[in-house]
Amino acid sequence: MDAEISPAKQARVSGKTPSVTQPYDWAAMRLCGDPWKKIAAKEQMKESTVTKAATAILEMADWPTKPTAKPQT
């Protein structure tokens, strides 16, 4: 069984503050191979904000921060 993942620190963002679960959603999108730029555009957030918050989640879970190749179908 996987170890429990502690909650992420709240990111400081001018204008828009991400919800508690958003960084986890961003990390999941990244694990699925979405580029940071696409995730940030979808969420209407700065790319650096999304990258920093989601990377922290991925590193805590010891998951890859770089996308893996999608299987060819």
Contacts of residue 31, defined as CB under 8 A and 6 or more positions apart, other chains included, come to 58, 63, 64, 67
d(CA 69, CA 43): 23
Tens digit of each residue's pLDDT, the chain (73 residues): 566 766 666 555 555 666 888 999 999 999 999 999 999 999 899 999 999 999 999 999 998 888 766 656 6
Q: What global pTM score does this model have?
A: 0.67
The pLDDT, as a whole number, for residue 65 is 84
